[in-house]
Structure 1
Amino acid sequence: MTKFADIKGFVFDLDGVITDTSILHGTAWHQLADSLGVAWSDELANGLKGISRMDSLEMILKAGGKENDYTQAEKEQLATQKNTNYVAEVDKMTPANILPGMKAFLDDLRAKGYQLSLASASKNAPRVLGKLQLADYFPKIVDPASLTHGKPDPEIYTKGAELLNLPANQCIGVEDAAAGVAAINAAGEVSLGIGDATELGAADMVFADTAEVTLDNIAKKLG
């Protein structure tokens, strides 16, 4: 097991970890589902968390029994429409949208010389970081266009560590979704889950919320 003293880098997911864009994604997908005549539900909203744009679209179409109603080109168009909805929501963001305690945690990491990278499947991650005024904290961002597999495949976290030129076992991956935790574990990194301890039971350590995530608390859990 990796010891706290071995950790040199942190690979962050964005949504549910640094800020909560899932609300904005939810709004944008809800708008699209309405326009397609697909009934929106909590179950559908929860199912879309942490998966890619095209996979999310397929899930919505399937929920409405419309998975065979559109050509691939039309599906691309629908995904673009959703993204336009989403970007309009993102552009309203400010540093006030950073989750509790996360700015202080990032400041502490930077002050103590840890390397940081971002492993978000969102193509809009750089735009979000800009609105939150956190862009300079993450000079290294995994390009979602370079990925061939989505979470729970480890690829995005493997690339996150590679960007830092660190071996996987010297990195902590930070996630709020079970698929993300699975991806971190499969990449051979230490997994830090934020949220429900049962849902994130596979994580090496779990914190109930972002405010609890501090280097001191991580050190206590890792030893």
Structure 2
Amino acid sequence: MLSFGKMEQKFSEKEKSAFAEQKNNLYLQAIQKMDETSVLPGAIAVLEYLKNTNIKIGLGSASKNACLILEKTNLTSYFDVLIDGTQVSKAKPDPEVFLKGAQQLNVPPNACLVIEDSEAGCQAALAGNMHVLGIGENINLPSAEYVIPDLTVFDQVRSFWHLSEAVSRI
């Protein structure tokens, strides 16, 4: 049920489906407008650090548009493995997307660090026996082992997991 002001109206399944299709079309239009300037501050620096230190990078996303977004923002080349919503049957907080990524990277789950901005994603990583660095606010990511406000402060928390040392032993 959706509420408009003081009026409440129930929508038919057909109307709900039309709203969902309209929302998806608007989302796809927004994706088409994406470019390098759409990338979150600090993200490229983190990806470059990981690549330059020979750390394997995987993307695990429930979105069926993840590959398109990476293509539009010119980030695809940073990733060794891409697992998106077209390759998994279970949504987060199920760990399937992350476990499949770890398997394709040939990295044990307990040697993985998941950088996540949603609580369901944090829960999925923990359920997969992975470490979790939350991006956002502590109150919204209670399952994360460590939380930073955004990726611009990533350099300050590398010691959190001794990322280079742990991954280089694999």
Pick the TM interval, shorter chain.
0.7 to 0.9
RMSD (Å), alpha carbons = 2.3
- Work out whether 1:70 is the aligned partner of 2:13: yes
Q: 2:40 aligns with which of 99, 106, 130?
A: 99
Corresponding residue for residue 161 of structure 2: 222
1:133 maps to which of 61, 65, 74: 74
Q: TM-score, normalised by structure 2?
A: 0.83
- With over 3 angstroms needed to count, the CA separation of the structure-2 counterparts of 1:86 and 1:114, relative to structure 1, is same
Q: Give the deviation of 1:106 after TM superposition.
A: 0.4
Give 1:50-69 correspondences, 5 Å limit: 65-66=10-11, 69=12
How far residue 82 of structure 1 moved from its aligned partner, in angstroms, is: 2.6
Alpha-carbon distance between aligned partners in 2 of 1:64 and 1:209, rounded to the nearest angstrom: 39
Post-superposition Cα deviations, 1:105-159, rounded to whole Å, max 9, x if no partner, equal 1001001001111111111111111111111112411131232221111111111
Please say which of residues 83-92 and 103-112 is displaced more in the overlay: 83-92
Q: Distance in 1 between matches of 2:66 and 2:20?
A: 17
How many positions carry a matched residue from both structures? 159
- TM-superposed CA distance for 1:81, in Å, is 3.4
Q: Distance in 2 between matches of 1:64 and 1:129?
A: 39
Deviation at 1:174, TM superposition (A): 0.8
Query: For 2:108 and 2:89, how far apart are their aligned partners in 1?
Result: 21
Shift of 1:217: 1.6
Identical-pair percentage = 35
SS in 1 for 2:57: strand
Q: What SS does the aligned partner of 2:62 have? A: coil
Is the 1:102–1:213 contact (alpha carbons within 8 Å) kept by the matching residues of 2?
Answer: no
1:196 is aligned, of 121, 134, 137, to 137
CA distance in 1, matches of 2:123, 2:9: 29
User: How far apart are the structure 2 equivalents of 1:194 and 1:169?
Assistant: 20
Large movers: runs of 4+ above 4 Å:
37-40, 74-78
For residues 129 and 38 of structure 1, what CA distance do their matches in structure 2 show?
36
The residue number in structure 2 matching 1:181 is 122
Taking structure 1 as the reference length, the TM-score comes to 0.64
Q: Is residue 56–residue 80 contact of structure 2 (8 Å, CA) maintained in 1?
A: no
- State the one-letter code of the partner of 2:114: G
